[in-house]
Structure 1
Amino acid sequence: MTKPAAQGRLKRQINRLPPEKRIADIMAAAREVFTERGYNDALISEIAERAGVVEGSIYRFFVNKRDLLVRVVENWYEQMLAASEEQFSAVEGTRNRIRYIIHEHLMSIRREPGLSRLVLLQLRADPDYRASRLFKLNQAYTQHILDVVREGIASGEFRPDVSPSLVRDMIYGGIEHRTWGYLRNEKDFDLAATVDGITDMIYRALAAAPEAAPEEDRLSRAAARVEKAADRLERLATNAPGGLKA
């Protein structure tokens, strides 16, 4: 147990820290504890200890434990958004962009399964989730796929009857279902196979059907095939034992 003199020194040290530094330290510690223990078993006292602050300091900046969790997850989304902006802009080609989006989302789950579980089980279940800032961040996080699909429709690469929001829901819903066993610590998932499988299915489903060739093009190709077959038969006959020789 901390002695009164030691507590006094700790309080003086904390008071000298800028509020931004204290908030950052608290959120970093909270992220560790929430990830390791889940929401219900996470203790504010342990978060304070890891952050090097007294427990009362946490309540100066956060309303309660749930408010702290929300702020931690919001910060995680902000970090992912900032990291993806520069990287996504460097990816060229519609299929490659879809693959990048799928890959990065699967990697976020693999890197942070604890936070992913908290989003699914704790935060998205909140009745007020759709009115929250976290919901707005999630919309921004999934915006890239909407943009890619709309651009593909505009360029003629994708069918005009495609619904961008339905494609978004299929991708993220499919990933959620595919990785649920991993989040429950039941089984792993094959990252490369999952990325390629979802990418191929989505892209092929969206791709516009090639236009039917004009009749004259079809006839020309058919004539070329017949001529090629005839040449091959003539060579076979010439080279066969007893065949005609020049």
Structure 2
Amino acid sequence: MPKMTETSPETSADVPEPRKRSVRPKTLARTRTILETAHDVFAERGYEGASISEIARRVGIAEGTIYKHFDSKKDLLGQVLVRYYDGLIVEIEANLPHITGFHEKLRYIFGFHLQNLLTNAGISKVFLREARSHDDYFESIILDVNRRYTGITQAIVQDAITRGEVRADFPVRLVRYLVFGTLEHVAWRAMSGRGRIDVPAIADALTDALVRGMAPPAAAEPDPACGLLDRLEAAIARIEAQPAHK
């Protein structure tokens, strides 16, 4: 009697591999169109002012069709913001390899973020004022993609610590609040149509202040960052002093 050999379910030729369900191109195209349209409506009207019926009307479909693709209005907003941040991440990751030096990489990120707050003020305000204030934000997919986005800057700082360009005891997680909180505060008036800001100047001042403040003790200047912080504070004061545009 020939000897039998045992085979596991994973390797047995008799067990077919599970078939993956493919999404029809037409369905993907419809989902993309809904997301693009919803992005525009949320940016124009905010979360509370936006309606599923208007989104459906602009797409040219029945309102019920939206719910075949998304569970709820909140789910739709979450997917819109994830798609938006994914696009920003792709752009940053494509450009960073062509930028040399810790200082210049940070300056690029700061200028990029500030410019996008202004260029995409509508959807940025939805994120800052509405999506981020929801009680479930810290368990949402929006938080995950935002952390991936801000995590690029944290990775740049961590790499600089490894190379000795930033002091070893610097709390890398603090970068998210120092940088993005500052830029969002600086940009808010302009995002609301109440003045303008000089993006390169703000990016320069914040980069210089942060880099000098993070420098290892041996590399730090006698009075590190104080003058630069004064410049940044003065720039913010000038922005806030500008008259509102009617």
Aligned to 1:134, what secondary structure does the other structure show? helix
What is the aligned partner in structure 2 of residue 19 from structure 1? 27
| Seq. identity, % | 34
What is the aligned partner in structure 2 of residue 185 from structure 1? 193
Q: Deviations over 1:204-243 (max 9, x none)?
A: 111224469xxxxxxxxxxxxxxxxxxxxxxxxxxxxxxx
Return 5+ residue gaps in structure 1 as ranges. Answer: 1-15, 213-246
Moved over 3 A (4+): 209-212
Return 5+ residue gaps in structure 2 as ranges. Answer: 1-23, 221-246
CA–CA distance in structure 2, aligned partners of residues 211 and 27 of structure 1: 49
RMSD of aligned Cα (Å): 1.9
**AA partner of residue 162 (structure 2):** A
TM-score (norm 2): 0.75
Alignment of 1:11-50 (within 5 A): 18-50=26-58
Alpha-carbon offset, residue 17 of structure 1: 7.9
Alpha-carbon offset, residue 160 of structure 1: 2.0
1:91 aligns with 2:99: yes
* Higher alpha-carbon Rg: 1
Cα pair 1:28 1:51 within 8 Å, conserved: no
Alpha-carbon offset, residue 112 of structure 1: 0.7
Q: Deviations over 1:2-25 (max 9, x none)?
A: xxxxxxxxxxxxxx9821111111
**AA partner of residue 195 (structure 1):** A
CA distance 1:122–1:211, change in 2 (3 Å): closer
Alignment of 1:1-246 (within 5 A): 18-210=26-218
CA distance 1:17–1:101, change in 2 (3 Å): closer
**AA partner of residue 54 (structure 1):** A
**How many residue pairs were aligned?**
197
Cα pair 2:190 2:196 within 8 Å, conserved: yes
CA distance 1:211–1:205, change in 2 (3 Å): closer
Higher relative contact order (CA 8 A, sep 6+): 2
TM-score (norm 1): 0.75
Q: Deviations over 1:145-195 (max 9, x none)?
A: 211212222222122221111123101111111111123332222111111
Cα pair 1:44 1:65 within 8 Å, conserved: yes
What is the aligned partner in structure 2 of residue 7 from structure 1? none
Alpha-carbon offset, residue 135 of structure 1: 0.8
Aligned to 1:38, what secondary structure does the other structure show? helix
CA–CA distance in structure 2, aligned partners of residues 41 and 150 of structure 1: 41
What is the aligned partner in structure 2 of residue 4 from structure 1? none
Indicate the structure with greater helix content: 1
